Amino acid sequence: MAQNAQDRAAILKVLENQRQGWNKGDMDDYMQGYWKSDSLLFVGKNGPTYGWQKTLDNYKKGYPDKSAMGFLTFGIKKVEFLAKDKAFVLGSWNLKREKDEPKGYFTLLLRKIDGEWKVVVDHSS
């Protein structure tokens, strides 16, 4: 379906924009891919966090500067449409930093809101 190809490209662009924002050391730019809502759900090793602002605050605590943020790469394993306005993404993340190289996986639920794809649930480990 042509629609799916367009939407898949749009979703991959959201993730690529996030990656580029991260690699510039710009957390606010990175966060543009997320739904700016108190209902945003982020699940990490410390459990669930609700809300865009709280997620941003946690990221800024965990990654206070460019060296902590390192260089981020993604490996997208799957983009699956659950409905015309909902998609599931499975991928891997890898951070190259001076002293270490943390890596893991993420699952995302994206929704098309006002014509734009946004991450509404992020589970990263």
Structural domain count of the chain? 1
The CATH number of residue 79's host domain is 3.10.450.50
Residue 65: give the domain boundaries: 2-124
Checking if the pLDDT of 44 tops 90, the result is yes
pLDDT tier, 3 (very low <50, low <70, confident <90, very high otherwise): confident
The pLDDT value given to residue 75:
98
pLDDT tier, 114 (very low <50, low <70, confident <90, very high otherwise): very high
- Bridge partners (DSSP) of residue 83 are 86
Q: What are the residues whose beta carbons fall under 8 Å from the beta carbon of 4, sequence distance 6 or more?
A: 81
- The DSSP element (H or E) to which 23 belongs, if any, is helix 2-23
The pLDDT value given to residue 1:
57
The pLDDT value given to residue 109:
98
Q: Are 32 and 17 in contact (CB under 8 A)?
A: yes
Structural tokens at position 88: 């599931």
- In this structure, the chain runs to a length of 125
Backbone angles phi, psi at 122, to 5 degrees: -130, 120
